[in-house]
Structure 1
Amino acid sequence: MIKSPKIVHRTSSKAVFESAKELGLTDFQARLVSHRTNQTKQLDEIVFPKLKHIQHPSALKNIEQAAEVIVNAIKADGVIVLATDYDTDGVTSAWVATTALCDYFGVPKSRIVHVIGDRKTGYGITDDVVKRILAIEQPIALVISADQGSSDEERIAVLKSHNIPVCVTDHHQIPLNGVPESAICTVNPQQEGCEYDKTVAGCFVIFLVMTQVRQSLIQNGLLDKSSPSLKYLALNVALGTVADSVSLKSPNNRAIVHAGLQLVNMFQSPAWQALRELNDNQGHPFDAEFLGFQVATRINAASRVSEVATAFKFLSAGNINEARMYLEQLDTDNQNRRAQQEVMLKQAYKQALDKYSNDTYSMTLKLSGNAGIQGIIASRVGELYGLPTVAMTDLKDGTLAGSARGIVSEIDLRQAFQWMSEQKEDLFLSMGGHKGAAGCMIPIDFYDEFSQLFEQAIKQQVGDSAPVPIIETDGELNDWQLTPNLIEEISALEPFGREWPKPLFSGKFSITQIREVGQSKTHLSCKLKTAGGSIFQAIYFNAKQNESEPTPFATGDKVTCTYQPGVNNFAGRTTLQLRISSMIETS
């Protein structure tokens, strides 16, 4: 039986609370802020994000060198190859670089060649990516990587041997042997000696690089001083930043996402106009949550079940009809992804149930199906059990591709994978990622050994007690606070995301009405009554794993819930609705 989640209240910093009050926040807002940081430094930049707060690009090591290399490529005759990752961060990186080069710097689109990675062949500048680059018939002036490249010395060396220069821009961890020596330069805040914010996404790094290219072009007399800045590119840098789950406590990330959302909600881009037609977010402005769950899922679906190029073409669409066409395909891909996901989740839940015990520290699953969906599976299973989880898919070529999610806050997956590779040198065919999310590829024969080593690695980081599901909340609310005005106070602290989570509250209720809803009948719609007698409408998504599972609650049950307050607009009336994230029966 899965351990019941442990509900804990976030701790408050008195110094931050007082500083937040001095900034003009309400007591309620100041309390929320004090739950999310214990540092008063740069608090105003965190609470009131602005583009002017972004750290100067000059702090990014090698950025001047990269700009010079790119300017020389612009002046040359050959094509410029953009080698980017296949996820939303990578696709938005491709959009940022292309838009800057073509629309702002005057490079003909015929000189830009896109080589976006393929989930089937793995992350990074893979052998397949090198093969595709070497197959380009035109002379190549430069390869610019974005959101990848730091761990790909071997493949970059192959390109160098063919006299193809590579400029790496990335944000992933640097391998122990350092940046790729064969690259003409590497721009990555993770590298030794770089003073830039380590939390920025790949699309943010290429955005900064292109900003520096603009300055170099002006200094070289190749671009007029009055040429527009690149701040409009924040439109999709925001999307890539949110999608990559980097820290939204960082003033840099908050500033770019805040500015990007302002541009998104102007709906000047055909892509965003088409998205509003598909889903207008009930008339509310698009926020970071919408970007993550409604937009990034569709962008990622292209590489998971279809062609990643569709996602890039959608973001780059020149008119609304073109954008609609590509969005229709992305939406179809997303529906296909969801259907495949349900099949794989059934496999995963069955395996997890068989593997789990009170002394389990981690979960490693071997699945059949679409490798592009395994990251979602790892998140779902990991969150259910409160355990670091790796979901691996049989690629039918003697290898397994894996996606890992840390789930537990103190877990560092990169560190875990590094330790595992030291115990068995040939364990990984490839690996990469962040502290909280990582990917790998291993020989299928090493699955059992991988599982054992992963369990040991997690145990070393966690300690003597196996993890339990933890739900951090901002405490309880009084009945009088639960009004639509509460949403306005919360929204003023946007954008929310990793390390600056959307407020979550806890409370004790009795169920006065409950029913299964949704096409799959796995969601619960209910009415909850507080101890004070107030009744609130609530929705509990994915309360059941499948339709056949019995409804776990009934009218009259007393429950402890964690929830996010939201608004429900129906028949011209706005009411508060509680979005349940967990429900535990209490006596």
Structure 2
Amino acid sequence: MNANAESLKKLDPQQPEIVGRPFSQKIFDAATKLGLTPLQARLVAMRLTDADFEDDNMTEMLEKIVFPKLKYLQHPHELKNAEQAAKHIADAIESDGQIVLATDYDTDGVTSAWVATRALVDYFQVEPERITHILGERRSGYGITDDVVDRILAIDKKIDLVISADQGSSDEARIQRLAQHGISVCVTDHHQIPADGTPKSAICTVNPQQEGCEYDKTVAGCFVIFLVMGQTRKELIDRGILPASSPSLKDLVMNVALGTVADSVSLKGVNNRAVVQAGLAMMNELKHPSWQAMHALNDNNQQPFTAEYLGFQVATRINAASRVSDVTTAFHFLNAEDFHQAQQMLDQLEIDNLNRREQQETMLLQAKQTADALYYPGKFTMVIKMQGNAGIQGIIASRIGEQYGLPTIAMTDLEDGFLAGSGRGIISNIDLREAFQWMSDQDNDLFESMGGHKGAAGCMIPIEKFDVFSDLFEQAIRHQLDHEVPIFQIETDGQLDPYQLTPSLLEELNVLEPYGRDWAKPLFYGDFWIQSCRTVGQTQTHLAFNLKASDGRPISAIFFNALDSNDEAVPYHTGQEVRCVYQPALNRYMGSTSLQLRLVHAEVI
């Protein structure tokens, strides 16, 4: 299990175990031959396993992973039904009716809508008036819901095609409703396929998870629609609608990178690393109004945008729109035509994000009280029922899950007879989507809807089924863990020598960007003496340390969210020796740059 550097706290009741990541000497040797430093090679050998390679191509594949490039992308011909989808989309383009884009409400869904829109309008010359956007709403639940269907059926124009993105694979019943009205649906998605297969009423389903598809299973929804639109370009060229010299869609990877990082898909594979690396390079050119506005708001401490910046600074604001306000604000922000418009949209996203934080704190307090009452040694899961904004429950599930080291579902009362839930797996070998499927097999009436993937999943259940849901979830996770109580572990990359703790360390680590899920940002541990400790920040819940390393050199450190509230006693004191788990970072102040440790855990030894 990997720690979340923004929110992992000194845990009670379950103290985490600090462990080293598995290490492959074979990969270390191969990485060294690529010219990596011993530290860089060590980090690579702790993020990959021998099973990730075929013996005869380790060096070649390792180079593609460590030094990602778009030319290494897997060919879209391997994406099952992509060419079929392209033909349907090309037919719709040649017609004169509406093309409806039905996408999810999170960042992956919003960027999917952006990719499809920009491809249709900017590259395929479709009139904007022919495109109708139906972005889902969190309060109605994930997927092509009945509300989404009602909105599509309310369109008072001929509809040539509905294209779903980042959703649809689990929505046969709603797609069937549309088909009964003569409306064709082409599904593009990346979530797991339900037990009864792809939706039979869809004219086409493009999803790497489906049987017989050889494409990378880890790509995000925005990546799938990007590939489909690339195939559509080829189809339009073949038909003579576009000239052979028509530009490629390469520039659209800019926001494919954002959606990929935001959806927490694996960044270990060739495809995701390539699009994120290329997308970040485009963002950092600051040519697009949305990225100019983000840079004006937060310039990332005068450093280039990174995957971590996308996850914590950009995606949080985009997701805030659907959590507390109107998701179309986020869509308009990405599609802004000039800096002024982008800034206006971003100002609203900032307001939404502040609102989200306020609601989150209230709901988190409620959830912690519930979790404290539910927890007992030997428990496998947490299922929390709350009142409040359903859009925030995913964040609550993460925070509670990290505190207790358990797979967690946070549910909110929709006040219409249903509970909406968001789950986080927390433990690396847990598969939430598989757990939901098993639970559904035990009780056919348990779920009104469900979707998601291994590490994060969502659902809607009848409120009277809450106790049954809680019991079945506990059973499902017990089965997956073979009845062995989960142990909360923080995986680290080992220790650093004190002489390595200088600003140049960051230059060495940055070579292996982008970091993210399965390619974790380097996390080290070490023992230090506390020289001083004080509360800082507006909430006075962060701790600033002056530490002393084993060779006597001073080191500054910051521990965000170390305290639950500003009236909690600080558990650390001058003179104590502490074992810290940390990420190295740069601290710029008054024109000088120094190394700062960002603590994610600290225990007195």
Q: Which residue of 2 aligns with 1:63?
A: 82
Q: Does 1:221 align with 2:240?
A: yes
Matches within 5 A, 1:86-125: 86-125=105-144
Paired with 1:148 and 1:546, the residues of 2 have a C-alpha distance of 39
Instruction: Give identity over the alignment, percent.
Output: 62
Find 1:554's aligned residue among 556, 573, 578: 573
* Secondary structure of residue in 1 paired with 2:258: helix
Deviates more, 1:142-151 or 1:439-448: 439-448
Matches within 5 A, 1:370-385: 370-385=389-404
Cα deviation, residue 352, structure 1 = 1.0
Across the aligned residues of Structure 1 and Structure 2, the Cα RMSD in angstroms comes to 0.8
Find 1:51's aligned residue among 57, 66, 70: 70
Deviations 1:98-145 (A, max 9, x none): 000000110010000000000000000000000000000110010000
* Secondary structure of residue in 1 paired with 2:99: strand
Paired with 2:440 and 2:16, the residues of 1 have a C-alpha distance of 32
Q: Which residue of 2 aligns with 1:233?
A: 252
Q: Which residue of 2 aligns with 1:165?
A: 184
Cα deviation, residue 465, structure 1 = 2.9
Q: Which residue of 2 aligns with 1:127?
A: 146
Q: Does 1:31 align with 2:42?
A: yes
Q: Which residue of 2 aligns with 1:211?
A: 230
Paired with 1:272 and 1:373, the residues of 2 have a C-alpha distance of 25
Deviates more, 1:192-201 or 1:418-427: 418-427
Paired with 2:199 and 2:442, the residues of 1 have a C-alpha distance of 24
2:498–2:550 contact (8 Å) kept in structure 1:
no
Find 1:514's aligned residue among 520, 533, 537: 533
Paired with 1:235 and 1:552, the residues of 2 have a C-alpha distance of 44
Deviations 1:310-343 (A, max 9, x none): 0000000000000000000000000000000000
Paired with 1:530 and 1:501, the residues of 2 have a C-alpha distance of 25
Deviations 1:481-519 (A, max 9, x none): 111111011000000000000000001111111110111
Find 2:318's aligned residue among 286, 299, 308: 299
Find 2:32's aligned residue among 21, 35, 50: 21
Paired with 1:535 and 1:440, the residues of 2 have a C-alpha distance of 49
Amino acid at match of 2:414: L
> Larger relative CO (CA 8 A, sep 6+): 1 or 2?
2
Paired with 1:363 and 1:528, the residues of 2 have a C-alpha distance of 36
Q: Which residue of 2 aligns with 1:481?
A: 500
Q: Does 1:356 align with 2:375?
A: yes
Q: Does 1:259 align with 2:270?
A: no
TM-score, normalised by the number of residues in structure 1: 0.99
Amino acid at match of 1:321: H
Q: Which residue of 2 aligns with 1:566?
A: 585
Paired with 1:510 and 1:444, the residues of 2 have a C-alpha distance of 51
Q: Does 1:11 align with 2:22?
A: yes
* Secondary structure of residue in 2 paired with 1:182: coil
Paired with 1:469 and 1:219, the residues of 2 have a C-alpha distance of 55
Find 2:484's aligned residue among 454, 461, 465: 465
Paired with 1:470 and 1:225, the residues of 2 have a C-alpha distance of 54
Q: Which residue of 1 aligns with 2:309?
A: 290
Paired with 1:390 and 1:578, the residues of 2 have a C-alpha distance of 32
Paired with 2:184 and 2:366, the residues of 1 have a C-alpha distance of 45
Q: Does 1:142 align with 2:153?
A: no
Paired with 1:366 and 1:464, the residues of 2 have a C-alpha distance of 25
Paired with 1:536 and 1:464, the residues of 2 have a C-alpha distance of 43
Cα deviation, residue 550, structure 1 = 1.4
Paired with 1:79 and 1:278, the residues of 2 have a C-alpha distance of 37
Cα deviation, residue 234, structure 1 = 0.6
Paired with 2:528 and 2:98, the residues of 1 have a C-alpha distance of 63
Paired with 1:585 and 1:447, the residues of 2 have a C-alpha distance of 40
* Secondary structure of residue in 1 paired with 2:365: helix
* Secondary structure of residue in 1 paired with 2:397: helix
Cα deviation, residue 574, structure 1 = 0.7
Paired with 1:224 and 1:507, the residues of 2 have a C-alpha distance of 60
Paired with 1:531 and 1:21, the residues of 2 have a C-alpha distance of 29
1:384–1:469 contact (8 Å) kept in structure 2:
no
Deviations 1:355-378 (A, max 9, x none): 112111110100110000000000
Cα deviation, residue 567, structure 1 = 0.6
Deviates more, 1:497-506 or 1:357-366: 357-366
Paired with 1:47 and 1:533, the residues of 2 have a C-alpha distance of 35
Q: Which residue of 1 aligns with 2:409?
A: 390
Deviations 1:394-429 (A, max 9, x none): 111111100000000110111111111111111111
Paired with 1:228 and 1:464, the residues of 2 have a C-alpha distance of 55
Cα deviation, residue 228, structure 1 = 1.1
Paired with 1:446 and 1:162, the residues of 2 have a C-alpha distance of 33
Cα deviation, residue 354, structure 1 = 1.2
Paired with 2:278 and 2:37, the residues of 1 have a C-alpha distance of 24
Matches within 5 A, 1:260-339: 260-339=279-358
Deviations 1:441-473 (A, max 9, x none): 111111111111111111111133321321000
Paired with 2:578 and 2:120, the residues of 1 have a C-alpha distance of 56
Deviates more, 1:460-469 or 1:103-112: 460-469
Amino acid at match of 1:249: K
Cα deviation, residue 551, structure 1 = 1.3
* Secondary structure of residue in 2 paired with 1:36: coil
Amino acid at match of 2:506: I
* Secondary structure of residue in 1 paired with 2:46: helix
Paired with 1:70 and 1:95, the residues of 2 have a C-alpha distance of 16
Amino acid at match of 1:301: A
Cα deviation, residue 45, structure 1 = 0.7
1:385–1:468 contact (8 Å) kept in structure 2:
no
Amino acid at match of 1:540: F
Deviations 1:26-48 (A, max 9, x none): 11100000000013531111000
Paired with 1:557 and 1:329, the residues of 2 have a C-alpha distance of 45
Cα deviation, residue 87, structure 1 = 0.1
Structure 1: tracts of 5 or more residues without a match: none
Paired with 2:376 and 2:394, the residues of 1 have a C-alpha distance of 23
Deviations 1:23-81 (A, max 9, x none): 11111100000000013531111000000000000000011110000000000010100
Paired with 1:344 and 1:520, the residues of 2 have a C-alpha distance of 17
TM-score, normalised by the number of residues in structure 2: 0.96
Amino acid at match of 1:556: G
Amino acid at match of 1:13: S
Deviates more, 1:463-472 or 1:72-81: 463-472
Paired with 2:103 and 2:456, the residues of 1 have a C-alpha distance of 18
Q: Does 1:76 align with 2:84?
A: no
Deviates more, 1:248-257 or 1:445-454: 445-454
Cα deviation, residue 191, structure 1 = 0.4
Paired with 1:510 and 1:360, the residues of 2 have a C-alpha distance of 35
Cα deviation, residue 548, structure 1 = 2.0
